[in-house]
Amino acid sequence: MGKKIGKYELGATLGSGAFSKVKVGIDSETGQKWAVKIIDKEQLAREHMEEQLKREIAILKSLNHPNIVHLREVMQTANHIYMVLEVVQGGELFDKIVAAKRLDEDTGRRYFHQLIGAVMYCHAQGIAHRDIKPENLLLDANDDLKISDFGLSNLQPTNRAALLQTVCGTPNYVAPEVLREKGYDGFKADVWSCGIVLFVMIAGYLPFDDSNQNALFNKIERGDFRMARHFSEPLKDLIAKMLVVDPAKRLSIEQIIQHPWFAVGYKQAVSSRDQLKPTDDEIAGAIREETAEVETAAPAKAAAQAAAPSAAAGGSNTIDAFDIVARFTGTSLSTIAVQQASSDIPANRRASLMLVQGDVGDVVSAFQTLSCNIKSAPGASEVKGFINCSQGLITFVVVVQATTVPGLSLVEVKRGRGDIMEYRNLIVQLMDTLGPKLKSVPMQTAEDLQ
């Protein structure tokens, strides 16, 4: 049974975040698809995030650039805020980098052209993004880049001497001056983050990374990194001039555009740099009042759905843990117990199963404690993650399935790219981090994880 907000019929969930979820929204008048970001107002209020959301809305409504996700309109009900955004169907730049392991310089340069062009446009509007990273860079159906997620943006004061005081962003991508908490120029911090993105695209790994956060911050503050050996000399020169610890000596956006490596094939997408200045009335009217979500399913369809038998016996949405284990492994729990004592378990196992007292949030929290970068996948029961280790990037997918035992979940961690032994160590650390929440673990021994 579908739901409708305004003229948009809500469909499948595209993704979810800390304060919101995103659903497909179909314009009932035109049939065009949009992405509807649904934000819980109560949760925003609890976390004191209302002003940050207003800032995001005001910023997005003022922007009009081919490489920035377009915000069509914003509505609100008593409980939710609905942001109707352009659908970007090509996935994240991050996923493309992971799939390719790294991009060649020509491909990376094309995306970098689009990134810098969009950032230059934002800066011309007095806006510093402050959270530029591959996960916030989307690709459309034409493989063109789109900047998303302006939740950490802030309007840069007209007086350039006035510095932003908020420390934000993803640690691996933030500039050294941001970490010092003494105020910083958001424009110069964006240049640093763009330099990190450029490095990651063509190297396939982060220039600054460490499992210990204090050690990571020390590396960033010292500018302690090494160029990838396969970088061309012009590329090394550009990155070296962007990742300068002293923001006063860092390249500006205009200087980046003039650099020989960047200049190859560059065509500016938007020539106008006039600053947009929304009026107070425009800002006040940015969010339109709307009635609550209404059901859109036809009565006959609703009746058929009500009469349909439940997928699980007794109408439960949970599945017996033994059945889940059999589904994932093709065997029974008793068989696994026998295998656990065997020395014949393959060394290249790509998945690890464990029973955890908790839900997907508990598992995500444990991975984040280990400095993993985590993002939610559609449906919220599956998440993707990565961590940069000494032998390179490790990627993984986590599937969390509820069992019939209250609060008990079956967790499957599937290895993607990366070193087998470092993946094994990650799983061992995860088990230690979960601590007493870790219950029956069919594949918990060191032999199983090798």
Q: Which of 25-39, 238-252, 291-305 has the highest mean pLDDT?
A: 238-252
Least confident window among 16-30, 83-97, 321-335: 321-335
- What pLDDT shows up at residue 409? 86
How many structural domains does the chain have?
Answer: 3
pLDDT band for 350, please (50, 70, 90 cuts): low
CATH number for the domain harbouring residue 223: 1.10.510.10
Domain membership of residue 401 (yes or no) is yes
| Annotation marks residue 131 as catalytic | yes
Q: Are residues 139 and 187 in the same domain?
A: yes
Residue found under tokens 């790994």: 205
Does one domain contain both 213 and 332?
no
With a cut of 90, say whether residue 67 has pLDDT above it.
yes
CA dist 63 and 69 (Å) reads 9
pLDDT at 315 (0 to 100): 39
Q: What is the pLDDT of residue 292?
A: 57
Least confident range from 69-83, 150-164, 204-218, 417-431: namely 150-164
Is 386 within a domain?
yes
pLDDT at 373: 81
**For residue 284, what pLDDT band results from cuts at 50, 70 and 90?**
low
Between 445 and 117, whose confidence is greater?
117
Q: Which two tokens stand for residue 265?
A: 């094939």
Contact 8, 84 (CB under 8 A): yes
Q: Which residues contact 268 (CB under 8 A, 6 or more apart)?
A: 117
Question: Does 269 map to a domain?
Answer: no
Q: 108 with 229, same domain? A: yes
The model's confidence at residue 394, banded by pLDDT at 50, 70 and 90, is confident
The most confident of the ranges 230-234, 290-294, 362-366, 432-436 is 230-234
Domain that holds residue 230: 93-263
Q: What is the pLDDT of residues 220-238, one digit of tens each?
A: 999 999 999 999 999 999 9
Instruction: Please choose, from the candidates 52, 88, 50, the residue with its C-alpha nearest in 3D space to the C-alpha of residue 71.
Output: 88
pLDDT at 364: 86
Which residue blocks in 125-179 are alpha helix, DSSP H? 176-179
Q: At what angle do helices 186-203 and 105-124 cross, to 10 degrees?
A: 170
Report the C-alpha gap between 208 and 271 in whole angstroms: 34
Residues 392 and 256 in one domain: no
The number of beta carbons lying within 10 Å of the beta carbon of residue 436 is: 6
Quick one: pLDDT at residue 385? 84
- Burial letters for 256-288: b for 16+ Cβ neighbours within 10 Å, e otherwise? bbebebbeeebeeeeeeeeeeeeeeeeeeebbe
10 falls within a domain: yes
Q: Which of 275-279, 336-340, 409-413 has the lowest mean pLDDT?
A: 336-340
CATH of the domain at 320: 3.30.310.80
Are residues 99 and 80 part of one domain?
A: no
Given a cut of 60, is residue 329 above it in pLDDT? no
- Do 354 and 391 reside in the same domain of the chain? yes
pLDDT greater at residue 318 or residue 54: 54
User: Quick one: 156 and 58 in the same domain?
Assistant: no
Of the listed ranges 37-41, 297-301, 373-377, 403-407, the least confidently predicted one is 297-301
Break the chain down into helix, strand, coil percent, rounded to 5.
40, 20, 40
Q: Which of 40, 131, 274, 320 is catalytic?
A: 131
pLDDT (0 to 100) of residue 181: 63
Provide the mean pLDDT of the chain.
76
Q: Helix H segments across 165-298?
A: 176-179, 186-203, 213-222, 233-242, 253-258, 260-263, 280-284
pLDDT, one tens digit per residue, over 297-317 is: 443 333 333 333 333 333 344
- Residue-wise pLDDT tens digits, 397-431: 898 888 887 888 888 888 877 777 778 888 888 88
Residues 54 and 162 in one domain: no
Weakest-pLDDT range from 59-63, 72-76, 290-294, 444-448 = 444-448
The pLDDT of residue 440 is 60
